[in-house]
Chain A
């Protein structure tokens, strides 16, 4: 045992000499492994990114709130109404559901251009809502104020501006008090929503302007009775299941839904959003996992083949080492060490490639990528596994060579 420990660094030295001597073999193995590890790096970092994003989304959504959507999103029949929620619903929820202290209606209008002076900004959405908007989304205002009940009652032409929109239209100046045109509608900005930096769906949440729901309905000719969604906030989030059940019973009653009929609304909770995101992520993992697995398998086969060829070519050297006193394990260890050095080099190169690729993908907004020690650990572990699994056969073959046979063969 002691002898083996003493020999190990020497065996590693022999392996390094061989790795440097057989450069073409080394380059091919490194490249093949690097491609697999690059794929793996992208998958691991993107899963991490997706997880982080899911947490951010849920954090913003809040564990003490639900999002009530008109229409049943699970079994939405063609032509079925999605505008089923009314002002009465919102009011009754706030008054009748135990623990519900905020119920803020919302409706969105998409693709409106905001204009200030000579500057334009294409808004993905203009949100119509009521007082309590900032509070119900846990979204503090960096300046100004939220809507008031009067703003909503009178259909006031006032607005809250998203941080990105404010940056684009006003630069470093304060937007509060300024008039922004939404299409032809002049709106006075009364508050600025703080920066959220969260993107999803059609762009960043900071790319928006909110105005009173009454104003939105009147000025953009939308239905005045119904709207799309209500955000409800509760005390005691630990009873969320009960809150949801109460909400469902109440709405079914208000909407006069017969017991055998499905809901005409959908209640989204933080847990459901997490589940949905997990499902999306599952698809991503399956796709990237297959790709990475395939790439790594290919890398492993390349290694196994090149090493088998290499052992055949180096029969003389291996026979000589055995004749001169190398133990079986020392030969096995040397070949495995050669494999491990190459796969580790491949892992480093692959991580660099993967990070580069990940950067490109996250710049395109497809994936969010961040490097972590976990990625490093997984890449190194996979590299060692490839070396061990695919290097073992050639290594054992080499170690099993009979020195006399090996030397005689080379003499021809």
Chain B
């Protein structure tokens, strides 16, 4: 099972309690993401797709249900242990890029690596390579404010790749970009996927979703259509 299935969610629930009112955002979601898969999570706003992405990315804990990472149940891990897992195995790309404004492109790419065990020298070497790969070799010393939106998102993608993650989570990665730039960014993600990393992406944009191999539709906290292989009893 651990061979091809990277992440498995088993009957995951997520309930937010706000001002004494329970809001059930996820209602028993079971889902598997395999190695090298490019998955799009789609659904209208409020459907729970972002929460699902956060849970898959170990940024939030499920209220109930199990999370298996390469077959190991990590649901009960402490926060810092989850930080370490995110750092080692996951990369993140956000709609608003979230680059550190006072750090150069290179330093931004290095950031997750510097929280890991690898030496700075080999990290810098790879960061340069990654910047070259996203077409920004000559912008390494630029601050985010000196870069266009598309360039900033490329820096963010390079940052997501620095620790050679198994999965990249992308939350509306093209949400702030024009359509030509969006296509470039999606092509970049698709290329990364063919080189072995899984990608889980939230989007409400059909053109963007078209780059994915598998499209999971979510409505009211339930999986409507799990778009392909994997256990989908829901």
What residues of chain A lie closer than 8 Å to B115, measured between beta carbons? Answer: 7, 10, 321, 324-327, 330
Whether B86 lies near A327 (C-beta < 8 A) is no
> Are B100 and A407 within 8 A (Cβ)?
no
B229 part of interface (Cβ distance < 8 Å): no
Is B83 in contact with A320, judged by CB distance below 8 angstroms?
A: no
Contacts of B96 in A (CB 8 A): 410-411
* A3–B115 alpha-carbon span in the complex (Å): 9
A257 contacts the other chain (CB 8 A): no
The minimal Cβ–Cβ distance linking B5 to chain A, given in whole angstroms, is 23
The CA-CA distance from A18 to B115 in the complex, in Å, is 16
**Which single residue of chain B is at the shortest CB-CB distance from A7?**
B115
Q: Which of A132-189 contact B (CB under 8 A)?
A: none
Q: Would you call B206 an interface residue if the criterion is a C-beta within 8 Å of the partner chain's C-beta atoms? A: no
Minimum CB–CB distance for B101 against chain A, Å: 8
**Binary interface profile of A, 371-407, with partner B (CB < 8 Å = 1, else 0)?**
0000000000000000000000000000000011001
What sequence of 0s and 1s flags, for each residue 1-24 of chain A, a beta carbon within 8 Å of any chain B beta carbon? 001001100100110011011100
Is B117 a contact of A3 with CB atoms below 8 Å?
A: yes
A329 to B100, CA, bound (A): 20
Judged by a CB distance under 8 angstroms, whether B38 is at the interface is no
Chain B interface residue bracket vs A: 20 to 34
CB neighbors of A among B1-47 (8 A)? none
* A254 contacts partner chain B, Cβ-Cβ < 8 Å: no
How many residue pairs bridge A and B at CB < 8 Å?
67
Contact at B86–A324, with CB atoms within 8 Å? yes
Q: Spot the interface stretch: B62-70, B87-95, B181-189, B197-205.
A: B87-95
Restricting to A306-343, which residues have a CB under 8 Å from any CB of B?
Answer: 316-317, 320-330
Q: Point out the residues of chain A lying under 8 angstroms from B117, CB to CB.
A: 3, 6
Taking CB atoms, residues of chain B closer than 8 Å to A329 are: 80
Please, which residue of chain A has its CB at the minimum distance from the CB of B115?
A325
Quick one: which of B57, B79, B101, B163 contacts A328, CB cutoff 8 A?
Answer: B79
* Least distance between A322 CB and chain B CB atoms (Å): 7
For A407, the chain B residues whose CB sits under 8 A away are 94, 98
In the complex with contacts A321-B111, A323-B59, A324-B87, A316-B98 CB distance below 8 A: yes
Cα–Cα, bound, A7→B88 (Å): 15
Contact B116 A325 (CB under 8 A): yes
Q: Are A322 and B83 in contact (CB under 8 A)?
A: yes
Given contacts A322-B83, A323-B92, A328-B79, contact A17 B102 (CB under 8 A): yes
Contacts of B112 in A (CB 8 A): 324-325
Distance (whole angstroms) from the CB of A410 to the closest CB of chain B: 7
B28 CB to closest chain A CB (Å) equals 21
A381 to chain B, nearest CB (A): 30
CA distance A320 to B87 in the complex (A): 12
Query: Most chain-B CB neighbours within 10 Å: which of A14, A316, A324, A328?
Result: A324
Which residue in chain A gives the minimum CB-CB distance to B100? A317
Q: Distance (Å) between the CB of B126 and the closest chain A CB?
A: 16
Return chain A residues, CB-CB under 8 Å to B159. 324
CB pair B59 A403 closer than 8 Å: yes
Contact A325–B98 (Cβ < 8 Å): no
A355 to chain B, nearest CB (A): 34
Q: Return chain A residues, CB-CB under 8 Å to B84.
A: 325, 327
Contact at B102–A21, with CB atoms within 8 Å? Answer: yes
Are A17 and B80 in contact, with the CB atoms below 8 A?
no
Query: In the complex, what residues of B have CB within 8 A of residue A403's CB?
Result: 59
B105-141 interface code vs A (CB 8 A; 1 in, 0 out): 0010001101111001000000000000000000000
Least CB distance from B115 to A in Å reads: 5
Shortest Cβ distance from residue B81 to the other chain A in the assembled complex, whole angstroms? 9
Residues of chain B touching chain A, judged by Cβ–Cβ distance below 8 Å, are 54, 57, 59-60, 79-80, 83-84, 86-88, 92, 94-96, 98, 100-103, 107, 111-112, 114-117, 120, 159, 163
**Which A residues have a C-beta under 8 Å from some C-beta of B?**
3, 6-7, 10, 13-14, 17-18, 20-22, 316-317, 320-330, 403-404, 407, 410-411
Additional pairs, 18, CB under 8 Å, beyond known A320-B98, A325-B112, A326-B83:
A6-B117, A10-B120, A13-B114, A17-B103, A316-B98, A317-B100, A320-B100, A321-B115, A322-B83, A323-B92, A324-B86, A325-B116, A327-B83, A328-B79, A328-B80, A329-B80, A404-B59, A410-B96
5 pairs, A vs B, C-beta closer than 8 Å: A322-B83, A325-B86, A328-B83, A329-B80, A410-B98
